Structure 1
Amino acid sequence: MTPTLRSERLLLTPYAPEDENDFVALLRDEEVCKWMGQERQPEETIRSLFALLFTEVYPNNMFDVWAVRLDGRYVGHAELKRTGNVDGHELICALVRDVWHMGLGTELSYRVVDYGFDDLCLDAVHGCVNAANTRSLAMARKAGFEVVRDVTGEDGAVTRVVTLKAAARNLLRK
């Protein structure tokens, strides 16, 4: 079951049904989608994905997915899940635009990575970052992630696959 997590400023909780409109708004934002490296989806598709959280993901403990809150307000989304994008668990984070440039992405990523290593005992955590997203790539490097490969999409966009191994993370903490 997805646990509740806390960082200095953020509260990460499993989604509740009343979060649906915030979830849809976040994932319908073209700028958010651009930096996540994904196509903007129709609203019906996003609502269907949200419904799957309650019919498939949470009941079957498929992976961890959180609503992210700052001072009680929904400000983002986070996941840690095994995917076909990488050989292992992928960290996925997105924040609403009005909280960008506040250091919350770093704080959120660090908290989910800590959970992956400390609670799930993962050997590595991976991420997929749009190559043009220099701020996220800088944050990933600062956290100890290394670029392991580039993937070029059909549209020519480049995504950088980054990896943080548990041993490297432990060295950074010493």
Structure 2
Amino acid sequence: MTPTLRTERLLLEPYAPEDEEDFVALFQDTDVSRWMGDGPSTEAEDRALFGRVFTKVYAQDLFAVWAVRRDGELVGHAEIKRTEAVDGHEIIYALAPAAWGIGLGTELARALLDHGFGPLGLSEVHATVAAENTASLTLLERIGFEHTRDIEEDDGSTTRVLTRRR
């Protein structure tokens, strides 16, 4: 079950059905979605993804997925899950542009690390980041992640794999 996590300024909690519009708005923001997965999706795809959070991820307790809130407002999305791409547990996070540049990304990534190293008992945590996403690369390196390898994607782009060991 996805636990509730708290940081100084953020609340990470499981999504509620009434979060659908804010979830879709976050994922439809091209400044956010260009760095997520295979890039922007249709609104219908994002609504289907939101539905799967409940019908699959939460229902089968597959991994932790959080709505990230600040002062009661949904400002982001976060996950920690095992992925084949890194052959281990990966943190995934996104913040709305209005939440950029004030340290919330660092706060969020540290919360995910603490959860991975604490309750999950992991010895290492990974992140995958588009090589062009210098803001996320800088953030992760600042909190101790090290570049371990690159993945060459089918479209010719490069994804960096970063690892933080306990």
Residue identity over aligned pairs, in percent, reads 55
**2 CA distance for matches of 1:119 and 1:64?**
12
- Please report the TM-score for the alignment, with normalisation by the length of structure 1: 0.92
- SS of the residue aligned with 1:35? coil
For the 8 Å contact 1:37–1:129, the answer to whether it is kept is no
**2 CA distance for matches of 1:29 and 1:155?**
22
Matches within 5 A, 1:1-174: 1-36=1-36, 38-166=38-166
For the 8 Å contact 1:129–1:161, the answer to whether it is kept is yes
Deviant stretches of 4+, over 4 Å: none
For the 8 Å contact 1:24–1:47, the answer to whether it is kept is yes
For the 8 Å contact 1:37–1:130, the answer to whether it is kept is no
- Please report the TM-score for the alignment, with normalisation by the length of structure 2: 0.96
Please state how far the C-alpha of 1:37 moved relative to its aligned partner. 5.3
**2 CA distance for matches of 1:36 and 1:57?**
18
For the 8 Å contact 1:88–1:126, the answer to whether it is kept is yes
Query: For residues 51-102 of structure 1, what are the alpha-carbon distances to aligned partners after superposition, in whole Å with 9 as ceiling and x for unaligned?
Result: 1111111121100000000011000000000112211111000001111111
Query: For residues 97-153 of structure 1, what are the alpha-carbon distances to aligned partners after superposition, in whole Å with 9 as ceiling and x for unaligned?
Result: 111111100000000110010110011110001111112111111111111111122
- SS of the residue aligned with 2:35? helix
2:101 partner amino acid: H
1:77 partner amino acid: H
**1 CA distance for matches of 2:85 and 2:47?**
23
Report the count of equivalent residues.
166
Gaps of 5+ in 2: none
- SS of the residue aligned with 2:51? helix
In angstroms, what is the RMSD of aligned CA positions? 1.1
For the 8 Å contact 1:2–1:63, the answer to whether it is kept is yes
